[in-house]
Each structure stands twice: as C-alpha cells, then as structure tokens.
C-alpha cells in the first residue's frame, strides 16, 4: 500500500482527483447509513424475544413478595443473585434499577452534588474535578458537564488510564473527587484494564476523603474474539478498605433489550445503605416483573454466558468486516491507526491530526452518520482532532460493508486535502 505521506504534491493532486470522483459517486447514491451509536442490531435483539413470550408461572418471589405489587426497593432476590453470581459481588451490596445504568450513573452524580457522601460537603458547593480517561464515553462527559464539574483528561495506555497521572492528581488535589471508567473493552478503544491498574485504583491515595470511582462495567460479558478477565475491583477495594469509594454499574441493556433491560449498581456496606435511604424517597421500586422475566430467561450466570456467546458470534462477523476493510484499504498508507479490540462494541480510529472532523463531515454528506468528531473527549474537544469512534453493531452486513467503503474514501480524501494544504505552506 502507498504511503500517502511520502507522495509529492503532484502525486497528491492526482490522487485527490481520483478520490473526488469516487466520493461524488457515493454522494449520488442517496445512502442512509448509520454507525453513530452502539445500538444492537435486530438479529441481536431477536435472541431475546423469548423474554416477551415466556409465561410467568409464579408472581411470588422467593422472598414471598408479589412482584406485581409495590415493594422490594433494591430489587428481587432472584435477579440480585444472578448479578452477584455473574459479577462476584455480594447481594447485600447490590441495588437493582430500571432499564438504564446511565440513569443510575446520573443519579449517583446528582446525589453527590446535592447531598455529598457519608456526611461530606455536597459536591455542588465545591470546585469539583473529575478524572476522565480519554478517549472515553461521551455520555459520561455530558453528565459531568451538566453538573458543572471540571473534567481532566487522563490519557489511555494499553493497560488503562495513565495511573502515574491519576495517582499524582488524586493525592495532591482535594478538589479531585473521582474518576469515571469503562474498565473492560473501554468505550471507544476496547482497552482492558490490567490487574495492576485495577489494584492501583483500589488502593489509590486521595486528598479527598469522599473520592469516588465510577466503575461502569458495561461490557463485562461482551467478549467477541476472546474472553478477557477483569480483576475484581470490588474484592480489591475490600482488601484495602476502600469499598465505599467504589460505585459499580452494570446492565443487561446490550444483552437483551436496551429499552427494557435491567440495570444495577453496587457499593460498600456503608455507602450502599446511604444510597438506599435516598432511593426510598425517590422511588417505591423498579419494574419487578421485568426483573422476574429476565431472571426466568437466564436462570443463572451460565445462562447469560451462553446467550453472550451467540451475541458475540454476531458481533464478531461485523468486527471482521470493519477490521478487514481497514486492513485492506489503509494499512501502509500512514493515514490511520486503529484499535483491534477483543470485545465490547467499538473500534477506535486515529486519523492524521486535524482530519477527524473533516472525515465525519464528508461522510455525512454521503449519507453516512458517524459519532461526532470530538465526542470522545470532554467538552467535545479532541486536542488533535484525530479520534473517531466506529460502531459496527447496528447496520446490516450489507450496509456495514458499504459504510466502510464510504468511510475509507472520506478518510483518504480528507487526509489528502490536509497533506496538500501542508505541502503548499
């Protein structure tokens, strides 16, 4: 493959003419393609349809509560037991929510903003700073921004966030109140935190006594190419006496149905009881029938793992399309680097500096919607304008092949234009 960065100005201009013709052909097709979010495809959702048709033979839970009625603030024991078995967290430390773990994350920030934690000053009365591994999850950043928290970029490494930087900032600055993480198959890079990284987080020395680790383990069972085992931060935090610092999140939203999954959160003995007090004012309990249906569908952790093997096979085929297309079209061009995750939902790509926004713009004009460039950084500000998140799950395989063809053409055209601009300066 030709190294585009080694071409002469005349060669670049000739290449631009070819790419422009190809690009115009795509524009004339009137395409309507979407790789903007990590939405499950219809074939993934079909795997869970039995949840909707399986009869509930007994509405009375093992606690003796009628699941059709009020009660059970923290979730039925059956689904708590399933989550406990799957994630190795004691049931007494788990609260079951509605369909959205993001909702639980938002509420967790809101509680800290309004009430503080365990008698500490509410975060809304302080100059609160949150450490944000980047590239990261745009919805996490949107929550922090809405509450007015200052976000500090923490570069990602192959083993997770730069822990030297995390340790220094957490230890020296009492305004640094937390870090928000996607520790397994991180969004968007697909990086898995190493055992050392998880342990360093669990034993972190912090200037803030109310420091929190928002542990969004959204892809805990989303293995695609091979299973990666994540160290148990909940267990490690108990070892170091920091379990009240952990706020752990998980849901079945990308396992069954995003619109009607079951979410959960967990924390240490003291803080989970404080959360329950607030829950008792906020709600009289979430959808116990949905919790019961979900439990009846899986029965145990083995049921979840078997289901995820089928889902992983579907995702693998789509990841293959993306990665093979990038390999065949861009290896050796010096225009793009990309991650090759073993699981999760995304492939993260890095363009030449200053080319991400233009690539996304060109793609949109061709009818391909991508995640907004810059979205993977706080305040939408990618300092290098280089990262783009590719979400391959939602399109059909035919659509995905065409979407990747469009993407590669747009990326090449944006890059060539950049190189010509630099060449003429």
Average pLDDT over residues 136-153: 98
221 and 274 within one domain: yes
Let me know if residue 292 belongs to a domain: yes
| Tally of domains in the chain | 2
Residue 369's nearest CA partner among 388, 354, 355 is: 388
Residues 291 and 321 in one domain: no
Q: What value does the mean pLDDT of the chain take?
A: 96
User: 11 and 96: one domain?
Assistant: no
Same domain, 116 and 157: yes
Q: Which of 270, 299, 328 is the last residue of a domain?
A: 299
Spatial CA neighbour of 221 closest among 314, 102, 310, 343: 343
**232 plus 135 within the same structural domain:** yes
Query: What is the predicted pLDDT for the residue at 425?
Result: 54
Q: From 265, 283, 299, give the residue that closes a domain.
A: 299
80 and 220 inside one domain = yes
Are 220 and 322 contained in the same domain?
Answer: no
| 238 has a pLDDT exceeding 90 | yes
Q: What is the CATH classification number for the domain harbouring 356?
A: 3.90.1150.10
CA gap 253, 311 in Å, rounded: 13
Residues in the chain, total: 425
Judge whether 87 lies within some domain: yes
E-strand stretches of 2-110: 33-35, 94-96
Residues 209 and 354 in one domain: no
Which band of pLDDT confidence, cut at 50, 70 and 90, is reported for residue 68? very high
Same domain assignment for residues 312 and 292: no
What stretches of 117-241 show up as alpha helix (H) in DSSP?
138-146, 163-172, 195-202, 233-239
Residue 151 is part of a domain; what is its CATH number? 3.40.640.10
Question: Is residue 183 scored above 70 in pLDDT?
Answer: yes
User: Do residue 207 and residue 345 come from a single domain?
Assistant: no
Could you tell me if 278 and 344 lie in one domain? no
pTM of the model: 0.96
Last residue of a domain, one of 299, 323, 358: 299
Taking Cα atoms as reference points, which of 179, 241, 228 lies closest to residue 208?
179
Same domain (yes/no): 284, 321: no
The residue segments making up the domain with residue 334 are 4-44+305-423
Segment 384-410 shows an average pLDDT of 97
């Amino acid at each position: 493959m030709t190294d585009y960065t080694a071409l002469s100005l005349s060669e670049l201009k000739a290449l631009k003419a070819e790419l422009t013709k190809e690009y115009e052909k795509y524009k004339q097709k009137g395409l309507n393609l979407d790789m903007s979010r990590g939405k499950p495809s219809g074939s993934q959702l079909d795997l869970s349809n039995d949840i909707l048709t399986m009869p509930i033979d007994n509405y009375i839970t093992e606690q003796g509560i009628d699941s059709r009625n009020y009660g059970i603030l923290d979730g039925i024991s059956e689904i708590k037991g399933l989550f406990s078995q799957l994630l190795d967290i004691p049931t007494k430390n788990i609260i079951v929510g509605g369909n959205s773990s993001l909702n639980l994350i938002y509420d967790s920030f809101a509680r800290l903003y309004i009430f503080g934690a365990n008698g500490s000053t509410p975060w809304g009365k302080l100059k609160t700073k949150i450490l944000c591994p980047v590239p990261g999850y745009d919805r996490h950043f949107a929550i922090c921004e809405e509450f007015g928290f200052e976000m500090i970029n923490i570069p990602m490494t192959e083993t997770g966030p730069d822990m030297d930087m995390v340790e220094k900032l957490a230890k020296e600055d009492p305004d640094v109140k937390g870090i928000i993480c996607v520790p397994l198959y991180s969004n968007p890079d697909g990086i898995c935190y190493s055992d050392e990284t998880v342990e360093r987080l669990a034993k972190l020395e912090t200037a803030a006594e109310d420091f929190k680790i928002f542990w969004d383990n959204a892809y805990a069972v989303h293995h695609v190419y091979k299973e990666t085992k994540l160290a148990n931060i909940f267990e490690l935090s108990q070892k170091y006496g920091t379990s009240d610092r952990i706020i752990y999140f998980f849901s079945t939203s990308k396992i069954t149905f995003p619109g009607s999954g079951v979410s959960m959160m967990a924390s240490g003995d003291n803080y989970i009881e404080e959360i329950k007090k607030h829950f008792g004012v906020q709600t009289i309990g979430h959808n116990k029938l949905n919790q019961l249906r979900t439990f009846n569908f899986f029965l145990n952790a083995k049921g979840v793992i078997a289901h995820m093997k089928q889902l992983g096979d579907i995702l693998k085929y789509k990841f293959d399309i993306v990665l093979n297309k990038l390999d065949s079209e861009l290896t050796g061009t010096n225009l793009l680097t990309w991650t090759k995750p073993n699981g999760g939902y995304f492939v993260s790509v890095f363009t030449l500096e200053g080319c991400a926004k233009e690539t996304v713009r060109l793609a949109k004009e061709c009818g391909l919607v991508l995640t907004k460039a810059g979205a993977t950084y706080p305040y939408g500000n990618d300092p290098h304008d280089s990262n783009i998140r590719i979400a391959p799950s939602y399109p059909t395989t035919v659509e995905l092949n065409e979407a990747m063809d469009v993407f590669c053409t747009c990326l090449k055209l944006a890059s060539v234009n950049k190189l010509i601009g630099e060449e003429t300066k």
